[in-house]
Amino acid sequence: MSQPTIVVTGAAGNLGKAVVQKFATEAYKVYALVHSISQIDAWKNLSVTQLPTDLLNEQHCETSIQAIIAETQNIDVAVLTAGGFVMGTIAETDLNKMQQQLALNFETAYNIARPVFLQMLKQKKGHLFLTGSKAGLNTQHAKGVTAYGLSKSLLFRLAEIMQAEANGTQVQIHVIVPNIIDTPQNRAAMPNADFSKWTLPETIADKIYAIVHSNSMEPMVMMV
């Protein structure tokens, strides 16, 4: 059997690194989409290919995905973790701030999700993971994070559309909704928080792997 393939965006980030590490140690061929190639010691001796990709450039994303398909013929899993966060009430959120968040959280996902999804439709199988948020899942929780919440909410609607188009196949679309992720950056930003209630990136990566290898149709929205 050929080596399974996974594509990971935001691969140099905390969650992305954990996903790359998990799947690479489970004998996957990992394509880590990054802004630029860097030396990551944890990936040494693992089947990880760093692929510099501008996620805001649709043609660049298409080229990267087609290069992966040409090499592997299949994309079994894609985990899209790239994104960004900004605070702001409606009064504090002008159109420029809104457009920046739409670009970071929706366009970066769509530019990769679209060609990956079309390949999975051809294969009639695959798992595509988008990274949502509680503010995007229920925008009543987006008070104070207007642009972030709205931009993340689009990922849930995109997942619904894709799952409808994939009806009758074994293509599954998932939106993972993390709790606060336990990262150095979050600890620095919230030093008085109870870190024991946060979720480790490795825990989320393990959950994603378990979903991929489940023999049943999993729920679209996955709280992790």
DSSP codes joined into one string, 53-118: --TT-HHHHHHHHHHHHHHHS---EEEE-------B-TTT--HHHHHHHHIIIIIHHHHHHHHHHH
User: Of 163, 138, 159, whose CA–CA distance to 150 is shortest?
Assistant: 138
Q: Supply the mean pLDDT for the chain.
A: 93
Decide if pLDDT at 11 tops 90.
yes
157's enclosing H/E stretch is helix 146-165
In terms of pTM, does the model score above 0.75? Answer: yes
1 pLDDT band, cuts 50/70/90, is: low
Per the structure, how many domains does the chain have?
1
User: Of 86, 187, 192, whose CA–CA distance to 133 is shortest?
Assistant: 86
Count Cα neighbours of 149 within 13 Å in the Cβ-side half-sphere.
Answer: 17
Domain limits for position 207? 5-223
Decide if pLDDT at 194 tops 90.
no
Question: What CATH number does the domain containing 33 carry?
Answer: 3.40.50.720
Q: Quick: pLDDT tens for 101-154.
A: 999 999 999 999 999 999 999 999 999 999 999 989 999 989 999 999 999 999
Average pLDDT over residues 41-54: 90
Which two structure tokens, joined as six digits, stand for 29? 């061929």
